[in-house]
């Protein structure tokens, strides 16, 4: 699917704002992320059916943020396995009613989140018929439960929100963990990477730009902690120099500072 637009699901109440992917094997189809509403999920299903009538055996959710999986409901009738990270169900249960409350545009009417039916603890291979996909469950990074998909045949890595392009990276897991997982992803023999937000990448530039942001964030938040700058002041002053490099910076960057501060003050 073409890249979705760069916007925030909650504040703009438009959808889709996260990338959606489907992969067709000799026998079956896998869908990775389905958008943020039933309506988007239905449009995605229609687009897939224009390409293939093979059964949709897997709907993979990269993580719990609603812009990535609230379209899952549109696929229930296809009877796929709904696949997620082994730590996903706990976070899903904790957050889902909050998400539902905040999504109140008519667009989201009828949207009901779907619980996963298949969990990945470390690594699992699913086969669509001569088209194996490696599913990897990561340590804490963007969230506590990021799942990536690697399609060996085309060398395509579907990174979910472990890679942000254009859109400010958003931190909901571990800053130091994310830096570590990014190195692991960069070492994969990929030919292209589909990020959670923004355009498909064929080289390392986007990973490098994101790492620059995350490592500067770690460095400057540590410095603020050392200087006894309080968390709220830090959220308004740390690393604001990078604002021109990213979209939605004012919305997400202060929250990233707060999240990073909470993680790093215990070092």
Among 15, 151, 161, 263, binds Zn ion (CB under 5 A): 161
Closest CB to Zn ion among 17 and 126?
A: 17
Beta-strand pair 147-151/156-164: antiparallel
Q: Cα–Cα–Cα angle for 196, 127, 19, nearest 5°?
A: 15
For residue 131, give the nearest of 20, 29, 201 by alpha carbon: 29
| x-marked contacts with Zn ion along 49-68 as a string, rule CB under 5 A | ----------------x---
Q: Which residues contact 112 (CB under 8 A, 6 or more apart)?
A: 38, 73
Closest CB to Zn ion among 65 and 138?
A: 65
User: Least separation, in Å, of the C-beta of 172 and Zn ion?
Assistant: 7
Distance CA 172, CA 61 (A): 16
Residue count, binding to Zn ion (CB under 5 A): 2
Structure tokens at 219: 């460095």
Closest CB to Zn ion among 91 and 161?
A: 161
Segment contacting Zn ion by CB under 5 A, of 88-96, 116-124, 161-169, 252-260: 161-169
User: Least separation, in Å, of the C-beta of 149 and Zn ion?
Assistant: 15
**Sheet of strand 156-164: strand arrangement:** 123-127, 132-137, 147-151, 156-164, 192-197
Residues in the chain: 267
b/e per residue 186-196 (b: at least 16 CB within 10 A): eeeebeebbbb
| 146 contacts Zn ion (rule: CB under 5 A) | no
User: Least separation, in Å, of the C-beta of 139 and Zn ion?
Assistant: 16
H helices of 55-106, in order, are 66-69, 88-102
Closest CB to Zn ion among 57 and 65?
A: 65
User: Least separation, in Å, of the C-beta of 178 and Zn ion?
Assistant: 11
User: Least separation, in Å, of the C-beta of 197 and Zn ion?
Assistant: 8
| 33 contacts Zn ion (rule: CB under 5 A) | no
Closest CB to Zn ion among 149 and 225?
A: 149
List of residues contacting Zn ion (CB under 5 A): 65, 161
């Amino acid at each position: 699917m073409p890249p979705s637009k760069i916007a925030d699901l909650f504040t703009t109440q438009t959808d889709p704002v996260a990338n959606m992917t489907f992969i067709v094997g000799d026998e079956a189809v896998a869908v990775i992320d389905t958008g943020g509403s039933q309506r988007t999920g239905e449009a995605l299903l229609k687009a897939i059916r224009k390409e293939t009538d093979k059964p949709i055996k897997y709907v993979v959710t990269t993580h719990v943020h609603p812009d990535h999986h609230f379209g899952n409901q549109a696929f229930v009738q296809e009877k796929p396995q709904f696949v997620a990270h082994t730590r996903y169900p706990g976070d899903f249960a904790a957050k889902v009613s909050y998400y539902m409350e905040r999504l109140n545009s008519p667009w989201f009417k009828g949207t009901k989140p779907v619980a996963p039916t298949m969990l990945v603890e470390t690594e699992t291979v699913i086969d669509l018929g001569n088209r194996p996909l490696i599913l990897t469950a990561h340590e804490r990074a963007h969230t506590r439960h990021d799942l990536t998909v690697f399609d060996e045949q085309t060398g395509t890595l579907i990174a979910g929100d472990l890679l942000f392009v254009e859109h400010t990276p958003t931190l909901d897991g571990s800053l130091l963990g994310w830096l570590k997982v990014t190195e692991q992803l960069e070492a994969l023999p990929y030919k292209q990477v589909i990020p959670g937000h923004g355009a498909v990448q064929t080289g390392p530039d986007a990973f490098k730009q994101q790492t620059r942001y995350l490592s500067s964030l770690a460095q400057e938040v540590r410095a603020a902690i050392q200087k006894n700058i309080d968390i709220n002041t830090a959220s308004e002053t740390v690393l604001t120099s990078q604002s021109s490099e990213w979209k939605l910076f004012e919305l997400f960057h202060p929250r990233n500072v707060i999240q990073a501060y909470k993680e790093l003050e215990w070092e």
